Amino acid sequence: MNIILIYPESPDTFWGFKHALKFIRKRAYSPPLGLLTVAAMLPPEWSKRLVDASVTKLRDKDLEWADYAFISGMTVQRESARRIITQCKEAGLKVIAGGPLFTMERDQFEEVDHFVLNEAELTLPDFLSDLMRGRAKRVYTSSGFADIQTTPAPMWELADLNRYGTMSVQFSRGCPFNCEFCNVTSLFGHRPRTKTVRQVLTELDGLYDLGWRGNVFFVDDNLIGNKKELKSKLLPALIEWRKHKKGVVFSTEVSINLADDEQVMHMMVEAGFGTVFIGIETPDADSLAECSKKQNMNRNLVEDVKRMQRAGLQVQGGFIVGFDNDTPGVFQRQIDFIQKSGIVAAMVGLLQAPPGTRLHDRLKRAGRLLDQMSGDNVDGTTNIIPVMNLDTLRDGYKHILQRIYAPKPYYQRVKTFLREYQPPKVRASWDFDHVLGFIRSICHLGIFGKERFHYWNLLWWTLFRCPGSFPLAMALAVYGYHHRRICELHVL
């Protein structure tokens, strides 16, 4: 049996880093972790190929070779998924679809032959069993949650690792919190389930043995959701692992209460974590209460961020405008918070209501839902009817992006961050591509870019004030270019 695993093309988005990746000759941010894991769940005697449409084209000869096409994707990849499914059907292939996009929107994909939804550890075995017997059903779903200690290591060998900027692994699924706008708990539950340390190390060893030396992103929606397992098992194992495996660093997503645990922060830095993404959402207490973001309430959020920066962690942040309690003053408050906190990568989006969330249910009952959400956090769209005048909301949103990603305030924010940041002793080393990326940044940003004055100012300021952070400062300059392009092309 020949199986082609297809990942739709990702559009130009905030976290896609398309404009930054060009500096280091990469085509996409990371390979499709879910599909590579599904590949490892298929019978070992089957032949498998991966086509990531962000990296390579889906060719006719690939479709002629295959017996079945497996496709997965996120909501933001909806349109590419439609085109690929049509291409597969025109080639006479049966299509099996799974992943978040199809779990939430399967009614919109009539051409798909079989849906294997929810967590593949639960639904894929039944589908494969029925397929072998010639009686496969159209839809396979599950209301339970999988034991991910049975999940195999992804088949990294199917992907061309040289095309990507980072790799991904997973330690846990689920989140103990219940934010109204987030669909993580409806997809993966409130009780974070963890893999064994041996599983995680096996995945990392697989990447290392294939030559990977760079960033590995833990895709957990909240790595500290099960802090006991993290603190007592995973972090000590990663600290020991990195003593023998040089050049690998980590990033992940956490909740703001990480700032309360000095020991865990220092253990994470020692284990190689350099960047954490946190959903801060808003500095307004009423809006935090509205969306049940209880973990962010009654805190000095700016000081929490700076505490993590001083521990050696770069904090990236997610922000939202458009809550029912938001007033026109929220736009300037968001700007002030972002600038004061030194959160360099600040993803600001309009509130959206994903299917399966409490927000979606509430607004549906109130008759306040519009078309389906885009899945892009920073494209200036929303699928809800806000309390605030929509034009006022959109204008205020544009004002935030214009302000925080204009060269002057952006580079000021980099300095604000670097003044607090304590770089770890062990950092990722620059390879040829990163050296080339730095040279390209001099040409593109320092000579021809409209930010060239700020670029050179940051370069010399960093060399004299905090030389240990020089590689990071130059990387942030390139990321700023990417984020600014995203804002200019899709919102402003």
pLDDT in tens, the chain (492 residues): 999 999 999 999 999 999 999 999 999 999 999 999 999 999 999 999 999 999 999 999 999 999 999 999 999 999 999 999 999 999 999 999 999 999 999 999 999 999 999 999 999 999 999 999 999 999 999 999 999 999 999 999 999 999 999 999 999 999 999 999 999 988 898 899 999 999 999 999 999 999 999 999 999 999 999 999 999 999 999 999 999 998 999 999 999 999 999 999 999 999 999 999 999 999 999 999 999 999 999 999 999 999 999 999 999 999 999 999 999 999 999 999 999 999 999 999 999 999 989 999 999 999 999 988 888 888 999 999 999 999 999 999 999 999 999 999 999 999 999 999 998 876 666 788 889 999 999 999 999 999 999 999 999 999 999 999 999 999 999 999 999 999 998 887
Strands 139-140 and 172-173: unpaired
Spatial separation of the C-alpha atoms in residues 31 and 159, rounded to whole Å: 7
CB burial readout 429-441, b (16+ within 10 A) else e: eeeeebeebbebb
Asked if residues 446 and 314 have their Cβ atoms less than 8 Å apart, the reply is no
Angle at alpha carbon of residue 150, lines to 149 and 154, rounded to 5°: 100
Cα dihedral 265, 268, 272, 274, rounded to 10, equals -40
**pLDDT at res. 242:** 94
Instruction: Report the chain's C-alpha Rg in angstroms.
Output: 22
Cα–Cα dist 228/27, whole Å = 37
CA atoms within 13 A on the CB side of 340: 12
Q: Which of 147, 134, 159 is nearest to 192 (CA)?
A: 147
Q: For residue 427, what pLDDT is reported?
A: 61
User: Looking at the DSSP assignment, which residues form a beta bridge with residue 424?
Assistant: none
**275 phi and psi angles, rounded to 5 deg:** -140, 135
Enumerate residues 6+ apart whose C-beta is below 8 A from 365: none
Closest CA to 33 of 230, 207, 209, 242: 207
69/12 Cα distance (integer angstroms)? 25
Are 295 and 340 a contacting pair, CB within 8 Å? no
254, 275 contact by CB (below 8 A)? no
Beta bridge partners of 7: 52
Tell me the β-bridge partners of 281. 319
What pLDDT is attached to residue 206?
97
CA distance 483 to 387: 28
Contact 199, 172 (CB under 8 A): no
CA distances from 468 to 427, 465, 486 (A): 10, 9, 29
CA atoms of 390 and 268, how far apart (whole Å): 42
The C-alpha atoms of residue 354 and residue 59 are separated, in whole angstroms, by 33
Q: Rounded CA gap, 256 and 276, in Å?
A: 10
CA distance linking residue 372 with residue 369, whole number of Å: 8
Query: CA 11 → CA 24, 53, 338, 354, 417, distances in Å?
Result: 19, 11, 26, 19, 29
β-pair type (193-194, 172-173): antiparallel
Contacts of 454-460 with C-beta under 8 Å, sequence gap 24+, read 454/407, 454/408, 454/410, 454/411, 455/411, 457/411, 458/411, 458/414, 458/415
Q: State the burial class of residue 157 (Cβ atoms within 10 Å of its Cβ: 0-12, 13-18, 19+).
A: middle
Other CB atoms within 10 Å distance of the CB of residue 47: 12
